[in-house]
Amino acid sequence: MTAIPGGYLGAFEPVEVMTDYAVGVIGAGGRGRLHARRFARIDSCTVLACADLELSRAEQLAADVDLPEDAVFTDYREMLEEINIDVLCVPTPPAVRAAIVIDCARRADLDAIHCEKPMASTWGDCRRMTQECRRRGIQLTFTHQLRYSNAVEEASAVVDNGVLGELTRVEMRRSNLLEAGIHQVDLCSHFTGNVPASWVIGQVDYREQETYRGTNIEGQTLGHWQYDNGIHGLAATGRGSDLVEPHVRLIGEEGTLDVQFSHDDFDGTRVLLRTGGEETVVFQGERGPAITRTLEDVLCCIGSDEEPRVVANNVFVANELIFGVYESSRRHGGVEFPLTVDDDPLQSMIETGEIYVE
């Protein structure tokens, strides 16, 4: 069996950041409080203010990070007027996020905006928020923390050191695409070099109605695509998702690599290599401080020639694939990229009755 070179654990070591960035948080719910606490632990930044439509939520976040009363707002516009913010964190629901990001990019002299996933609830909003931040030189990033997890670091070492040979296919499974599975679709992009996809064909089912923070998500998906570098992708969600055994499977000419995480029906996080008729556990253990690593990378790359792993240009690929699967289902055929629709095809099909709803 081919020996596995040393892994990547510990390879992510952000350089020391001399600037003390002022952080503001818009959206003080559960994820907002989580991000605020993580930012507050990083030496190179200080959480200075927060805003939420519900004052009680904003006050809870303020208590978490010791914000004074005059740093708590119910209108983010007032926050930007009164507090000089360098880095804005926007963990709001996806349906309202793009409008807030675009408005803040135009209102304030920001260095960076960091958001929750998915990018937005429509493909047009994904494009507009990315374009607006790029136009104004604002670093736009999203919380795809699994890119920084211990398991992915070790899996990346296997791929980069050629143990699998040439990568030919990536596969993923989860309960749905846009909420849970977007992490796995994004990891498929990570392992294939963040190159755009050329085309996608897929079908979705919405008989079991479900929403995520106000956005409809499908109950079952089967999708197939190809990246510009020739690597194929396969997605299975909901009923029948056990077509793909682990959360992410990487298939190369010399073997396969399974990456699974400690959620859904899995007991633990593990990376399993199959090559030469043998199985080797490459990694088994905790995910590590993935969210903290994400935020450190975001801060370290501000104003530098380096881009964070979770920069919009990289995350864009997964979001386009998911909306592309929905559009393929609406068209009853394949979709070529770049995707040109403006809406959320799944939402549109539900509203027009084009998709069956029990």
SS3 string, the chain, reads CCCCCCCCCCCCCCCCCCCCEEEEEECCCHHHHHHHHHHHCCCCEEEEEEECCCHHHHHHHHHHHCCCHHHEECCHHHHHHHCCCCEEEECCCHHHHHHHHHHHHHHCCCCEEEECCCCCCCHHHHHHHHHHHHHCCCEEEECCHHHHCHHHHHHHHHHHCCCCCCEEEEEEEECCHHHHHHHHHHHHHHHCCCCCEEEEEEEEECCCCCEECCEECCCEEEEEEEECCCCEEEEEEECCHHHCCCCEEEEECCEEEEEECCCCCCCCEEEEEEECCEEEEEEEECCCCHHHHHHHHHHHHCCCCCCCCCEHHHHHHHHHHHHHHHHHHHHCCCEECCCCCCCCHHHHHHHHCCCCCC
CATH 3.30.360.10 domain span(s) along the chain: 146-295+300-352
Q: What is the pLDDT of residue 7?
A: 46
Name residues whose C-beta falls within 8 Å of residue 230's C-beta, 6 or more positions apart in sequence: none
| pLDDT of the residue at 12 | 52
Distances (CA, A) of 166 to 90, 128, 162, 195, 225: 38, 35, 7, 16, 18
Which residues are within 8 A (CB) of 269 and not within 5 positions of it... i.e. 6 or more apart?
149, 150, 151, 260, 261, 262, 283, 284, 285, 286, 287
Upper half-sphere CA count for residue 317 (Cβ side, 13 Å)? 27
pLDDT at 11 over 90: no
The CATH 3.40.50.720 domain(s) of the chain lie at 21-143
Whole-angstrom CA distances from 8 to 13, 153, 156, 340 are 11, 5, 7, 38
Distance CA 137, CA 112 (A): 9
Confidence of residue 351 (pLDDT cuts 50, 70, 90): very high
Residue 212 has pLDDT above 90, yes or no: no
Is the model's pLDDT at 18 over the cut of 80?
Answer: no
CATH code at 21-143: 3.40.50.720
Is the confidence at residue 267, as pLDDT, over 50? yes
Q: Please tell me which residue, 216 or 228, carries the higher pLDDT value.
A: 228
Dist CA 257 CA 68 (whole Å): 49
Q: Residue 4's pLDDT is what?
A: 39
Could you tell me the pTM of the whole model? 0.92
Binned at pLDDT 50, 70 and 90, residue 14 comes out as: low
- Cis previous bond, 94, omega within 30: no
* Residue pLDDT, tens place only, 60-107: 999 999 999 999 999 999 999 999 999 999 999 999 999 999 999 999
Mean per-residue pLDDT of the chain: 92
Residue 314 has pLDDT above 80, yes or no: yes
Identify the CATH number of the domain defined by range 146-295+300-352. Answer: 3.30.360.10
In 3D space, the residue among 248, 124, 266 whose CA is nearest the CA of residue 189 turns out to be 248
Q: Which residue from 202, 206, 201 is spatially nearest to 219, judged by alpha carbons?
A: 206
